[in-house]
Chain A
Amino acid sequence: MSKKMPQTPLLDQLESGPWPSFVTGLKRLANDEGQPYADYMKSLLGQLELSYETRKGYWKGGTVGVFGYGAGVIPRFSEVADKHPESSEFHTLRIMPAPGFFYDTKTLRALCDIWAEHGSGLIALHGQSGDIMMQGCRTEQVQHAWDKINELGFDMGGAGAGVRTAASCVGQARCEQACFDTLKAHRTVINDFTDDIHRPSLPYKMKFKFSGCANDCANATQRADVAIIGTWRDDMQVNQDEVKAKVAQLGRKEFINQVIRMCPSQALALNDDDTLDVDNKSCVRCMHCINVCTKALKPGKDRGIAILVGGKRTLKIGDLMGSVLVPFMKLDTDEDYERLLELAHNMLDFFAENALEHERTGEMIERIGVVNYLEGIGLDLDVNMIAQPRTNSYVRTDGWDEEARKWNDRKTNAAE
């Protein structure tokens, strides 16, 4: 006989209202009599209702995995299994989607079918990590589910102290503002680190994210240890006829308010004939005017990437934004991609060898200083790395002449 549906008066209150309800979805699964997950989900609803009553969580970690990998399954064992026995094990499989979160419905249905057979029927699209979160699987079903997901063409994501699943914006697949091929870069970089994703052995996690421009739709600057962000170094593209049309549409005053005055580096002016005057030397490639005037303005043609390193959230020394380590590099040819991979591996190797346990890249740089980090990974200094030069005079400068010579040599070499 099948299990009785638990009473869930608190969760029931989340079924009303215009937004889609996850509770309704959970109940749909729990009521799907005859399916292997029905009783499993009834039990889960019982535990979740208990959490809503007591305002406490009841999941504990443990060790569950698949053959050949050391990460990717998030084990969950219930602390209240005596009351809710069917959902005593509710593990998640983190599965890496295609960059940009694209699916065809055949593949999406296949994932659903696998999860209906071996799991809870509950899938989060997607976790904050960028993974497909196949939520809710018994220990004995994990390998079976994984085998089928893997055969379908998907691989497991990261967890623990390793390289993590990456994320990227939609990129050139559907955005004219993307300054590099975010999806290709994502795939090229992350697939070169599969060993570090699947067999974590770093001091702590390491994340890559890829955004096609400064709008940073992948939230890379703060959420990734290595943020790869598209930019350009020539002049912004301006279609003056479309500028005039935009001025006509908004009115001069509003165009000045919404476009000219909002430019953070005062690089814009409106000419008397309603065309746009752009001071490209002052432009910081922030994307604001391009976002407002999507027909009139575009990034330049000499496009590439900037790399910001060290973003992370509070634990342990406080929030950190990534900071610029590479202000510009091209990312078009195979050689460009090779250079990016080499740099990424240098960053990972230095992190592996120098970070303390549970220390993120940004914290390590905070501890050792960015100058030492640059030397460690073999990158040259660039003025774009700083917001301003130091303000504290307590610094030993007896190597000054040598450093000045290096800078001048680099300038000379670059000019040649």
Chain B
Amino acid sequence: MSELRRPIESGVPESTQFMHPVLRENYGRWAWHDRPRPGVLRHVSDTGVAMFTVKAGTQRQMDVYTIRKLADIADEFCDGYIRFTIRSAVEFMTPKEENVQPLIDRLEAEGFPVGGTGNSVGFISHTQGWLHCDIPGTDASGVVKALMDQLVDEFKNEDMPNRVKITTSCCQINCGGQGDIAINVQHTKPPVINHELVAGVCERPAVIARCPVAAIRPALVGGKPSLEVDEKKCVCCGACYPPCPPMQINDPVNSKIAIWVGGKHSSTRSKPMFHKLVAAGIPNNAPRWPEAAEVVRKILGAYKADARAWERMGEWIERIGWPRFFELTELPFTKYHVDNWRGGRANLNTSAHLHF
């Protein structure tokens, strides 16, 4: 066997080598932009040069044939350059305005919806799920596909009050991040422990330390060192499962879907916000998740009909108040919506401001 090769520790490559020459020449010289139509951006530099961007949706988990097809399109219309966004949309850039419509037509013909710009529902950011993750409660790719099939018109148009960023996550770690709407797994039962395996697989002090509510204790079960969970204390978060796979948290029935709203990463207008729980107990109903999709549809419908221009989901709710939100969306309000944990008083209404 040949000698092992030492890695070239090159870090991230330089970006400009992968940029269209017009981007390279106008780097840092862009003057303004607009959107000639949904799915298309036009950036104009101080030299008067315009660069058109056509944005399209993908399935994110792509086979090489899909990627090569995208490359073919980029070769034909964009001089061989292509870019992806942080939410896995694909962007084709060309300085030739006459290329824009044929590019859109080609993308649509190949099954890549054009949109996701301005005040639209963008592509749903998502995680790996059953395809690859070691702890998933669901399959984000499937949830996203099922939802985007329903929301594709909102992706292709800019009819929302502001942009809507939807995220999905396959467990409560929430790799999908904050969202105007977040569709996340919420476990409802404590982990089921395989005591035969714990001692051999888990570093027990590390697992005990991982629990946010100190519900895990060392125990001797059937003569073997293991762990036990105080089920009264357990919040079913699943934090013990990654470091200790014999503490199985995923359950086909009791791992549910919860929906959160009003998360926002940006500091635009309001400060960044965390998303807030509005619905839980939704079945993890693969392969199309119709119950979760129905809740999302209701929330989006209420937001679209009621929010003012440029209000993000969380800003809209802050203006109309939570009583009105639950009224408009017809979602039940329960004790589980009330933050009862550390710092929870910050989420109570400590004022005489009331909505009727």
- A: residues with CB less than 8 A from B are 10-11, 13-14, 16-23, 25-26, 28-29, 44, 48, 51-52, 54-61, 66-69, 74, 76, 90, 92, 96-109, 111-113, 115-116, 121-128, 130, 133, 135-136, 143, 146-147, 150-151, 153-156, 166-167, 169-170, 172-176, 181, 183, 186-187, 190-191, 194-195, 197-198, 214-223, 229, 254, 257-258, 262-264, 284, 286-288, 291-292, 294-295, 298, 313-319, 321, 357-358
Contacts and interface: CB of A to CB of B under 8 A. Distances in A.
Contacts of A173: 15-16, 19, 23, 27
Interface of B: 4-19, 23, 27-28, 30-34, 43, 51, 53, 57-68, 70-72, 74-75, 80-86, 88, 90, 93, 111-113, 125-139, 141-142, 145-146, 148-149, 152, 172-178, 206, 209-210, 212, 237, 239, 245, 250, 252, 255, 265-272, 274, 284, 286-288, 308-310, 341-343
A10 B12 contact: no
Contact of B68 (A74, A109, A191, A220): A109
B12 A96 contact: yes
Contacts of A215: 266-268
Contacts of A219: 86, 177-178, 265
Contact of A216 (B128, B174, B209, B265): B265
B62 A123 contact: yes
B272 to A, nearest CB: 5
A374 B298 CA distance: 46
A241 to B, nearest CB: 13
Nearest to B35: A294
Contacts of A298: 32
Closest 8 CB pairs of A and B: A17-B149, A191-B11, A25-B63, A51-B130, A102-B18, A19-B148, A105-B71, A176-B30
Contacts of B284: 55
Nearest to A111: B67
A106 B125 contact: no
Given A166-B12, A174-B53, 20 more contacts: A19-B59, A22-B145, A25-B65, A48-B131, A55-B252, A56-B252, A61-B134, A96-B12, A100-B83, A106-B80, A122-B61, A124-B61, A126-B88, A151-B8, A173-B27, A187-B12, A195-B9, A214-B267, A223-B177, A315-B237
Contacts of B250: 55-57
B212 A172 contact: no
A232 B145 CA distance: 40
A186 to B, nearest CB: 7
Nearest to B90: A125
Given A98-B18, A128-B176, A223-B177, A19 B265 contact: no
A321 B308 contact: no
Given A19-B59, A90-B132, A264-B270, A112 B64 contact: yes
A248 to B, nearest CB: 16
A174 B141 CA distance: 30
A109 B71 contact: yes
Contact of B59 (A20, A29, A191): A20
B112 A20 contact: yes
Given A55-B286, A128-B176, A154-B13, A103 B82 contact: yes
B136 A57 contact: yes
A25 B267 contact: no
Nearest to A152: B13
A363 B22 CA distance: 44
15 contacts: A19-B59, A20-B57, A52-B287, A55-B286, A57-B135, A57-B137, A99-B12, A101-B85, A109-B71, A122-B64, A124-B61, A124-B128, A221-B266, A262-B269, A321-B271
Given A48-B131, A223-B265, A314-B172, A105 B141 contact: no
Contacts of A294: 32-34
Contacts of A321: 271-272, 274
A172 B62 CA distance: 28
A319 B32 contact: no
A135 B342 CA distance: 39
Nearest to B125: A128
A18 to B, nearest CB: 5
B15 A98 contact: yes
B81 A103 contact: yes
Nearest to B28: A172
Contacts of B111: 18, 20
